[in-house]
Amino acid sequence: MALRAARLLRFAEATGVTNRLLLTMSSPAESICISKPVDSVTVPGTEGTFTVTNNHSLIVSQLKPGVITVRDGSDNKDYFISDGFLFFNHPTDGSGCCTAEVSAVELVPTSALDKDRASTILSELLAAPKDTEWDRTKAALGAALVNQVIKAAE
Amino acid sequence: MLIVPLSSDKGMCGSINSGVVREVRDFINQNNRNKIKILSVGDKGASGLARPFPDCMKLNISEVQSPINYPTVMAIGEHIVKMGEQSDKIIVYYNEFKSAISTIIRQMELMPRKQFLETLKFAKLYNQTRPDKNTSNPALYELYITSNLWLAFLNNAASEQSARMNAMENASKNAKEILEGLTLKYNQARQARITMELVEIISGASAL
């Protein structure tokens, strides 16, 4: 019962909020937040890391493996994203609240990352035979992802 | 046109598979079957559609692991995208989970790659896309297809579970009723036989 109440509170939509950035972050496994008012979000775009706040310009950006930082007042939360997209939209009603949606393939809090396990997987990947195209691609993409995991897990 | 019916591999799950097969059959009969290809997921759908439309069935994917995970759906999505390249639309048939006792059959229309990229050309609202439109739009198409398929797969899996639970529960209930009826009959027969033996013994004894 308490678990369900806690989960509902997490999704409580702030009604009557004006002029704040509403953040929705979700992955196939779970929705981390839906329309949560925040101050800013820093995301790892494929061409570089950038931060969006309310009234940013419209943007659709592909994201590469890295850390997403959500800032709300003095509250900073870090999440690790493997791949995904950021969609930034301007408000359609008069509330002045822009919406930022992060659709991720995998999205976890950085506290959930295990650095030792990641190092083990990295050495396995680099040691694996690279005969076929698939092996080489897997090693390259996998190494890029796992390196980011190790960096984020600190 | 590419049709993707989602079904289960095992039976005993109520009417979810036959419902999907029926809808697909009606759809194909109303349209030109020469232009239709079927990519079926699940043995039950394949067997239901292979007999009436052997020329349309192109590929069947079975023994999809349960519970399903996102990378598997991505891989299935790749097959669908490849087969749907030349079609004008891709229609996914699945059972939407409304509640533990009710599911409804839905058709989800997805755009083939060319149409999606064309549509994005009109998305002039976004004055920036990062990286450039040529790199990120195909990736966006993959996200679009896989997310929608993920929804369809999850709904279908939940519908299959609840339909199987209901079917099994009904089967158990019916079996229990039959058992009760048969138990009564057994006791009646047993008592009748005992009575007959008693009667024989008593009439034999009284004859002496």
Minimal Cβ distance to B131: which of A29, A47, A57? A47
Domain carrying residue A81: 21-110
Per the domain annotation, does A36 fall within a domain?
A: yes
Neighbours of A3 (CB within 10 A): 7
A105 plus A36 within the same structural domain: yes
Minimal Cβ distance to A62: which of B70, B125, B136? B136
pLDDT for B63 equals 85
B143 touches chain A (CB under 8 A): yes
A78 plus A128 within the same structural domain: no
Radius of gyration, alpha carbons of chain A = 18
Position B26 pLDDT exceeds 90: yes
Per the domain annotation, does A1 fall within a domain?
A: no
A64 plus A81 within the same structural domain: yes
Please state whether the predicted TM-score (pTM) of the whole model is above 0.80.
yes
Per the domain annotation, does A103 fall within a domain?
A: yes
pLDDT for B3 equals 93
C-alpha span between B60 and B56 (Å, rounded): 11
A68 plus A133 within the same structural domain: no
A141 plus A122 within the same structural domain: yes
pLDDT digits (tens, 9 = 90+) for B95-139: 999 998 889 999 999 999 888 888 877 766 666 666 666 777 888
A88 plus A119 within the same structural domain: no
B187 touches chain A (CB under 8 A): no
How far apart are the CA of B15 and the nearest CA of chain A, in angstroms? Answer: 28
pLDDT profile of chain A (154 residues), mean per 10 = 53 67 92 91 91 88 92 91 91 85 92 90 88 89 90 84
For chain B, percent of residues with pLDDT exceeding 90:
58
Residue A45's closest chain B neighbor by CA?
A: B130
The residue length of chain A stands at 154
A106 plus A64 within the same structural domain: yes
Interface touch A60/B143, C-beta < 8 Å: no
Per the domain annotation, does A136 fall within a domain?
A: yes
Minimal Cβ distance to B130: which of A45, A84, A105? A45
A102 plus A58 within the same structural domain: yes
A125 plus A95 within the same structural domain: no
Per the domain annotation, does A32 fall within a domain?
A: yes
How far apart are the CA of A106 and the nearest CA of chain B, in angstroms? Answer: 10
Q: Cβ contacts (< 8 Å) between A105 and chain B: which residues? A: 70
Per the domain annotation, does A46 fall within a domain?
A: yes
Q: Cβ contacts (< 8 Å) between A58 and chain B: which residues? A: 125-128
- More confident call, B130 vs B179: B179
A31 plus A92 within the same structural domain: yes
A97 plus A146 within the same structural domain: no
Q: Count CA atoms within 13 Å of residue B14 on its CB side.
A: 20
A69 plus A135 within the same structural domain: no
pLDDT for A154 equals 73
Per the domain annotation, does A53 fall within a domain?
A: yes
| Domains of chain B, each with CATH number or no CATH | 2-168 (3.40.1380.10)
Per the domain annotation, does A4 fall within a domain?
A: no
Geometric angle at alpha carbon A48, from A43 and A52, rounded to 5°: 40
**SS3 for A104-132, per residue?**
ECCEEEHHHCCHHHHHHHHHHHHHCCCCC
* Contact in structure between A77 and A69 (CB atoms under 8 Å): yes
* Total domains present in chain A: 2
